[in-house]
Structure 1
Amino acid sequence: MKTVVVGAGPTGLLLAGDLAAAGVEVTVLERRATDSNLTRAFGVHARTLEHLDARGLADKLIATGQPVSKLRLFNSLRVDLGTLPSRFPFLLITPQYNVEQLLEQRALDLGARIVRGVTVTGLAPDAVLAGGDTYDADYVVGADGVHSAVREAIGMPFPGKAVLRSIMLADVRLTEAPADVLAVNAVGDAFAFVAPFGDGWFRVFAWDRRSQQPDSAPLDLDEVRDVTRRALGTDFGMKEARWMSRFHSDERQAPHYRKGNVFLAGDAAHVHSPAGGQGMNTGLQDAANLSWKLAAVAQGWAPEGLLDTYQAERHPVGELVLRSSGGLIRLAMLHSRAARAGRDLLGGALLHVPTIMRKAAGTVSGIGIDYPGAPRQPDLTVSTGSRVYELLRAGRHVLLAPSAPRGYEDRLVHGVNDRFVLVRPDGHTAWTGTERDLPVALRRHLGAPR
């Protein structure tokens, strides 16, 4: 089976690496001719780190960034991530290109082919047309962003609207680094966000209600300084800028993530406000859900219908992220001082309620997101000393049980445990039960034994 992934961002690269690891022939087509550090994502949440842990990449990525255990939403509201039931009870601050570099190297090492500098012009039956060439494809995954050529080629609508216009981006040097790893605040007519690249440069996101310019309008550093001072009380001695631009943020979602043999993932399927830092994370979690299902169908032990569960499981998550990030950005944009004071007072009170704090932390981090009948599997240490997420690095289901069944060695990794739990390759629990029910469960989830 041949798969073409369009888009070499984090979503497409994780998917390509997983497919290559499963022995699937995969080609990634990327419009950019070279790598780019013009990134909008800076936060890797706990659930995404668990997915990277299941690929042996989490510790490498953590070494590139800085963990933040309390996520500040507004000036006085903080979500405590330190109590998350995960090996990674924090938000990792690291630029998106660090994620891309790790995932690209993994994909190449596993045999994926990456073709850069080609633009997709259309789809043909079982093929992708790009750069004057035809790439055979039994399946196509559009991971090519908000302006997805794949989504356009299949005629999939992308309903929604712009939620923020004229967001300013700037990569700058600062005379004084912020006291916190992240500096973020909103004051009604302005907000600003400052995050470190880790190399002496900082990314600034800034928005000014008073000045709504088109994306093409020129931007100078004085404008960025002014908005940052109004939102944060200081511009941290902002000086040299190596890059500046404007963009607008949409809230959109495709009604269907699959049409025939074509799938949409990441920003090609859903886009939302940057509040909460969930964009890249949601796309990576899309890829983790879809990749093992495509691999299972390619390997011949799973029915084609398994691929329909991608829509059933991930589309509601996209809706949830649109609601949560949209709610956060609207709270940040409250204009009147009284409304903001009420937000801070009520929000502060609610976030002191443990159940509400756990819900908020679980939602924004992804740790609290389950699928119907397939909850997230917590990491456990089995009798041999290995963790469940280490066992998942084989790219197969993991069975926690006293002994291993015969006939499933090509689809299953066994972890010695006195429970009976079947864990999917994406770290969700497929089944729990008893030894008596195990044969039926294995047939239902893994097909017939060899």
Structure 2
Amino acid sequence: MNGNANGARPVVVVGSGPTGLLLAGDLAAAGVPVTLVEKRPHRISNLSRAFAVHARTLEQLDARGLADQLEALGQPLERLGLFGRLTVDLAALPSRFNHVLVVPQYEVEKVLERRAAECGVEFRYETEATGLAQGPEDVTVQVRGPGGERESLRAAYAVGTDGMRSTVREAIGLPFPGRSVIRSVVLADVRLAERPGTLLTVNAVGDAFAFLAPFGDGYHRVIGWHRGRNVPDSEPLVLDEIKEITRLALGRDFGMHDARWMSRFHSDERQAPAYRVGRVFLAGDAAHVHTPAGGQGMNTGLQDAANLGWKLAAVLHGHADAGLLDTYQAERHPVGRSVLRSSGGLVRLAMAKRPWTLALRAGLTGVLDRVGPARRRAVGLITGIGYRYPAPRGAHRLTGARVPDVALAGGGRLYEALRGGRFVLVVPEGHAVGGGATRGDRLTVERWASGRRTALLVRPDGYAAWAADSVDGPAIEAALSAHVG
């Protein structure tokens, strides 16, 4: 897809965090010219923010050939502790990635940036978006370059992935309702003289909460909070304060020393009422922010990008009607709302103090410990594999569901087949698909490795677009026409 005579790019993405990098890479890989605008200089900070990559995100990265690179850099966590009483074994996750990968955000960004560059993304660093205007056919993003020069970038669509204080969100007039949940949370990356007994250490005692996780380079991330220490984010932070909170919550400070980064922040719960206004979209922290409990922030943003990228590409290439873009709001906004609730609930229960909240926490822990379906539901929400998208009335039960990495005939697997960014149609062995050859640039046809008789059409983001319990040629052709184009 080429730009217009003025050299405008079909898509401008504002913000080069993980969400923006994945989205821009997906668009470029699909042949959509894309400009990525970032106000920071060209460097990836080694000051870690997010630290956990969940199973569903790893599946999405696997569909891009990136998961194994990150697996080699991080450390798998196969068990999750909850409230000091419940241990959840992730080995039973129905995923190739039956663990949480503990890896710093900057490693994720390195992998995504390299891929985006290889795919041809145009990077504009030290370039700040200052506003935008949109019409019926295009959107213009106003930017200020490194030397203060001003420029207008015209595109078919723009996406704001520029964080909690999103300039794009403000420019399209969307509020960001919500509130601060906890204040004066302290974070640091430190070295430890004593190694904790578990990969991930977390506990709350009285008014103190602390969390420790390794990054594999000799440093640990520590997150702490004390109910009685409610000070502004600008208040100076010293290592002794972090050590004291950790000792109160975990019993000892593990000999913390050599902090390479310390910060104080407040944790908000906010969500934009819409993820789209006209030709402008929001994704990641520009669309939703929530507490760090469960490590779902970066993961939710990356899955926003995985949902939006293929839809923009399909519309820009003329393979789908522009109405497809409305499904981004319908599918991702409820997920963002659910993450706000689950992460906020975890924080409130972790810091329970009143008798009734302590009783509620004990009761919930007991239910999760004894009731398998409830535990699987909770784990599915945290890891992302439990979400499904709305399906039309009367659709097959698989429609809208995440499709696991099933084995395919010839020794392959589904998420390898998804690496071309195409739809994948899986049919029984021996079944011919007449329209496959004419859609070769956007459809891959595969066969089940098992004797399964279902016909299944998988979207580029790994969710079922359509399914049928028996193979029917006209029905398959109708499904391909409706979804693939």
Q: TM-score range by the shorter chain?
A: over 0.9
Residue type of the alignment partner of 2:128? T
1:186, distance to aligned residue in structure 2 (A): 1.4
Residue type of the alignment partner of 1:241? A
Question: Is the Cα contact below 8 Å between 2:85 and 2:365 reproduced in 1?
Answer: no
Give the corresponding residue for 1:68. 77
Task: Trace 1:114-153 onto structure 2 (pairs within 5 A).
Answer: 114-125=123-134, 126-131=139-144, 132-153=150-171
TM-score, with length taken from structure 1:
0.97
**What's the secondary structure of 2:193's corresponding residue?**
coil
Cα deviation, 1:191-249, whole Å, max 9, x if unaligned, reads 11111121111111111111111000000111000000111111001112122110111
Structure 1 window deviating more from structure 2 (32-41 vs 353-362): it is: 32-41
Q: Equivalents in 2 of 1:338, 1:429: separation in Å?
A: 42
Residue type of the alignment partner of 2:114? Q
1:419, distance to aligned residue in structure 2 (A): 3.1
**What's the secondary structure of 2:180's corresponding residue?**
strand
Give the corresponding residue for 1:7. 15
Question: Is the Cα contact below 8 Å between 1:384 and 1:415 reproduced in 2?
Answer: no
Give the corresponding residue for 2:306. 288
**What's the secondary structure of 1:171's corresponding residue?**
strand
Give the corresponding residue for 1:24. 32
Give the corresponding residue for 1:263. 281
Question: Is the Cα contact below 8 Å between 2:307 and 2:461 reproduced in 1?
Answer: yes
1:277 to 295, 316, 320: 295
Structure 1 window deviating more from structure 2 (254-263 vs 78-87): it is: 78-87
Question: Whose relative contact order is higher, 1 or 2, with alpha carbons under 8 Å and at least 6 apart?
Answer: 1
Q: Is 1:386–2:424 an aligned residue pair?
A: no
**What's the secondary structure of 2:186's corresponding residue?**
strand
Q: Is 1:190–2:208 an aligned residue pair?
A: yes
Task: Trace 1:18-97 onto structure 2 (pairs within 5 A).
Answer: 18-33=26-41, 34-97=43-106
Q: Equivalents in 2 of 1:242, 1:286: separation in Å?
A: 31
RMSD: 1.4
Q: Equivalents in 1 of 2:364, 2:215: separation in Å?
A: 34
Q: Is 1:431–2:458 an aligned residue pair?
A: no
Where structure 2 has 5 or more consecutive residues not aligned to the other structure, the ranges are 4-9, 145-149, 392-399
1:124, distance to aligned residue in structure 2 (A): 2.7
Give the corresponding residue for 1:240. 258
Q: Is 1:251–2:269 an aligned residue pair?
A: yes
Task: Trace 1:286-365 onto structure 2 (pairs within 5 A).
Answer: 286-336=304-354, 339-340=357-358, 343-344=361-362, 346-365=364-383
Q: Give the count of matched residue pairs.
A: 447
Structure 1 window deviating more from structure 2 (188-197 vs 159-168): it is: 188-197
Question: Is the Cα contact below 8 Å between 1:188 and 1:332 reproduced in 2?
Answer: no
Question: Is the Cα contact below 8 Å between 2:200 and 2:213 reproduced in 1?
Answer: yes
1:428, distance to aligned residue in structure 2 (A): 0.2
Cα deviation, 1:254-304, whole Å, max 9, x if unaligned, reads 000000000000000000111111000000000000000000001111000
Give the corresponding residue for 1:413. 444
Give the corresponding residue for 1:209. 227
Q: Equivalents in 2 of 1:348, 1:445: separation in Å?
A: 44
Q: Equivalents in 2 of 1:96, 1:337: separation in Å?
A: 38
Give the corresponding residue for 2:394. none
Question: Is the Cα contact below 8 Å between 2:27 and 2:313 reproduced in 1?
Answer: yes
Q: Equivalents in 2 of 1:341, 1:179: separation in Å?
A: 28
Give the corresponding residue for 2:397. none
**What's the secondary structure of 1:39's corresponding residue?**
coil
Residue type of the alignment partner of 2:376? R
1:38, distance to aligned residue in structure 2 (A): 2.2
TM-score, with length taken from structure 2:
0.90
Q: Equivalents in 1 of 2:83, 2:56: separation in Å?
A: 23
Q: Rate the CA distance shift 1:269–1:160 in 2: closer, same or farther, 3 A.
A: same
Structure 1 window deviating more from structure 2 (325-334 vs 350-359): it is: 350-359
**What's the secondary structure of 2:188's corresponding residue?**
strand
- Identical amino acids, percent of aligned pairs: 60
Cα deviation, 1:104-130, whole Å, max 9, x if unaligned, reads 000000101111112111013322111
Q: Equivalents in 2 of 1:438, 1:240: separation in Å?
A: 61
1:404, distance to aligned residue in structure 2 (A): 3.4
Residue type of the alignment partner of 1:424? R
Question: Is the Cα contact below 8 Å between 2:15 and 2:38 reproduced in 1?
Answer: yes
Q: Is 1:404–2:433 an aligned residue pair?
A: yes
Q: Is 1:165–2:183 an aligned residue pair?
A: yes
Cα deviation, 1:376-434, whole Å, max 9, x if unaligned, reads 01111111211011000000100112333332112101112353110000000011123
Q: Is 1:180–2:198 an aligned residue pair?
A: yes
**What's the secondary structure of 1:351's corresponding residue?**
helix
Q: Equivalents in 1 of 2:96, 2:343: separation in Å?
A: 25
Question: Is the Cα contact below 8 Å between 1:403 and 1:416 reproduced in 2?
Answer: no
Structure 1 window deviating more from structure 2 (434-443 vs 223-232): it is: 434-443
Question: 4+ residue stretches of structure 1 with deviation over 6 A?
Answer: none
1:344, distance to aligned residue in structure 2 (A): 3.4
Q: Equivalents in 2 of 1:272, 1:335: separation in Å?
A: 21
Residue type of the alignment partner of 2:425? L
Q: Equivalents in 1 of 2:156, 2:390: separation in Å?
A: 29
Question: Is the Cα contact below 8 Å between 2:44 and 2:109 reproduced in 1?
Answer: no
Q: Equivalents in 1 of 2:205, 2:312: separation in Å?
A: 46
1:94, distance to aligned residue in structure 2 (A): 0.4
Q: Equivalents in 2 of 1:270, 1:297: separation in Å?
A: 25
1:73, distance to aligned residue in structure 2 (A): 2.5
Q: Equivalents in 2 of 1:446, 1:339: separation in Å?
A: 50
Q: Equivalents in 1 of 2:157, 2:329: separation in Å?
A: 15
1:31, distance to aligned residue in structure 2 (A): 1.7
